[in-house]
Structure 1
Amino acid sequence: MPFLQKSYESLDTLAEAIGQAIRAPITIENRHHQLIAYSTHPDSTDPARIATIIGRRVPEAVIEDLWESGILQNVIDRDEPVVIPARLSVGLGERAAVVIKQQDEVLGYIWSLARSQPFSEQELTVLQEGANIAKKLLMTIAMHERRIDAELERFFLDILATPTLSLSHHERLNEIAPIAVASRLTVIDCLQPITPQFAERLFYVLATQQAIEVVLQAIDGQQLLVWHYMKSELSEEETTLVEWAERFETQLQEKFSEAEPRLGISRRFFESETIYNTAVEARRVTSLRRKFPLELATARAFEQIGIYQLVPDLARLIGLRLETHPTLERLHAYDHAHQTELVTTLEWYFYFDGNVKQVAAHLHIHPNTVLYRVRRIEELTQITRVSLPERAAIYLAIKAGQYRQDD
């Protein structure tokens, strides 16, 4: 026999009805684990529920734990409610959960906090009924969200297509974007086109990030572009960004290893008029990280790539024959004539700050061979006696030549 009405005006009233029917606290989430409804609960509840209600989303640590343990996949794969043992390490008490699906598309979840006694079959049936009723409401919400998301994605791509904002775009951005917030533009660059199915998986991981607030996002070929800001004080923004970027990129690489995702993050900006230039910066970071994976392995933000940010411009000047370096030309000529590798040795000698053992290990040669090559370089160029700015210029010229060659 049915325990609930056939329909409800809102998910809040549905959550309350389910909670009263099984005498347990209820939460209803969308597919990205953002809280959309919850019932009343007694004074005693677990930390995960409190954090979910306060933050309006399930804590990131809880989601990761449920995925890593296989629990969440089990909930998604089964049509009936699943009883979940307590996960005290992430503040999660015993629960029952049921997925809300339309065919194979996940629309959301209903969670019920356990009480002192086990869930009865009747109570699990009520949860299943609740999921069937919630499906109609969530389908309407999902259709509305998809229309809005598609319109905002087109708008975001439009404003990134030109360096100058039109008046209408500027007015729309003033309605959407936060005022006087230190924003960033992050590019998630992949080695394969981002299909709709792949995009949905990327959006899921992005939506579970609690350190950031997304303003706009869009797919552009093999890249996901994200305008966001950090949920931290401005004085802590840079430190928080670096920590989040390392953690987020690791998550992406674990979940999408075949796509080899790489982050590129612009400098922070406060005015929407600069959004085009920030996209250029973020894309430059990902491009350089692809070109120089070892040197820039941990450099995810524009500030972290240092002098490498000059490499593409210098490479362009070299291509136009407007820029060259005589010292480097001399070494290249010697390498060509004698089948040596002085330029490569000098490159890594600079990179490892003159540490002969590290150069030898990287090039898989004996340290004495490195010393011999450095002495030969010194005889040809007196490179070790030049100033730091000149050495930096030579190093840049080496990397710019590699950048051009790879292109």
Structure 2
Amino acid sequence: MGILIDSIVEKLEQYNPKSYINNKKITLIESVKYIESSIEDFKPNTLYVGQISRLPVSKLILQPTNFLIVSKLHLPCSVRTNRNTNIVLINEEFSPAIFNKVLDIFFKYEDININSLKLLKVLSKNTGLQDIINSSSKILGNPMYVSNTNFEILSFTEGVKLNHSLWTDITIKGYQQYDKLQSLLKDTILNAKLPIYFKSTNENNYEFKDGGNTIDELSKDSNSILYKENSKFTISRIWSNIYAGNKLLGQLIVIEAFKPFTERDVKIIGLLSNAISVELQKHKYYESSNVNSKELFLLQLLDGKITSQEALYENIKFAHWEMKYPLSVISIVNKSTISYIQFSYIKTFFQKIFYDCVCVLYKGNIIIATNYKDNKTLYKKCFKELQESLNNFEMFCGVSRPFYNLLKINKYYKQSLKAIELGRYRDIDKCIFIYDSYILQHILLLSSSEESLKDFCHPAIFKLITYDSVYKTDYLKNLYLYVMNFKNQSKLAGLMHIHRNTLHYRISKIEEIMNVDLNNVDEFFSIYLSFKILEFSGEEF
């Protein structure tokens, strides 16, 4: 670790230094010392500072060394061009202030190096984003937060007491207000590679107890930041975009709440942004290279990260999602987990079928949020095309019930998965399963853990089963077909290839054996439910 000699020269520009870099192998400075005539052995990565009169010219020929000479005297050409040495010359009378200035520059860079090691140590522990943020806040002495490309808050400094509306939005509400960010979003800050210092010009800006200008304090002339004054802010902040290559992952915002920002802070914020980028890329979502704001919004909803109507309203504006209600959730699953490579290929097929949809990969499945098709013709057309795609990809699809409340989308996502689970158990020849068709099976599944389902059957069903067994009749199957065809005797007589009078006789006989009235709605439903229970229990008719 250390600082390049060029960086020291840059920080000393007020003295108009001249540099003669002849040995590029030793330009990394690891320590600073005052030149003493008694020094015999010069270290190659040490910067020796002092007067020309103390320069041991006779010893320089053989030793690779760095010197910063402060003197009004002429520097010999043989010294300036010596291939072993690097010389920085300041044409002034030597003063302890210059030496101390060099020490300050060196120690500040050493401090940055030490803090970068601390960040590296936190990263190596793999304890997550929150630990990185908490540790970095201690280093910088100011609170901070991280948001994604939809400005959802991913993490913020814990345990900070800051009486400010911005911090309240971040820590209590969990989101930033769209209207307050609009003016920033119109500016091209999301393309900025350098950190941006938004300096508040508001009279309510915080004053620091140990405030006052320091040599290292940020100013308009700083080359390390983009400096923007903002009269709408009541507290200053540094905004640093987080990138993975050319892909924007989010933003790191550090608030100037407890101490003024310095050039040192900007360096550390740059290191921190890179550390956060590494951490965010571990998340499964960031493995995908083409995620837009709507898709990210859907992932947030599925993860349950948006919990209030107010937060929902703000996030909808950030995502620019103009939804048409009612919505439905469609889940596409494979026998094994769907990879991002598969998803990137398959995704376009589903987007063509449901042109107004949002399609994401979530927990190894493809999840589609789309407007529920009230038009039956359009609905059938979409699902015909969907079935063709599913057959090609050897996948299965579950469709939730229509809904109006986005905050409950996770419930309908689970419905779509449950439809697949129940449908594949009962209808093995299908690949599209609509939850509405399996609601009763779902109810029975939930009930089966508490009670014996057959206890809910109409008792006369078992009487009819016994009668068939004793007299070798087929009345149970006849009744099943009659109930499942909604008492349509003409249709049923054709299916059974018997005369309607024969069917009428059999139904009357069944009513007599069971002592029931199939024209009674309650009794009819009870018998219908009984058959569904028996089906669920594995009986065949």
With normalisation by structure 1, the TM-score equals 0.47
Higher RCO (CA-CA < 8 Å; seq separation 6+): 1
The answer to which structure has the higher helix fraction is: 1
Structure with max Cα Rg: 2
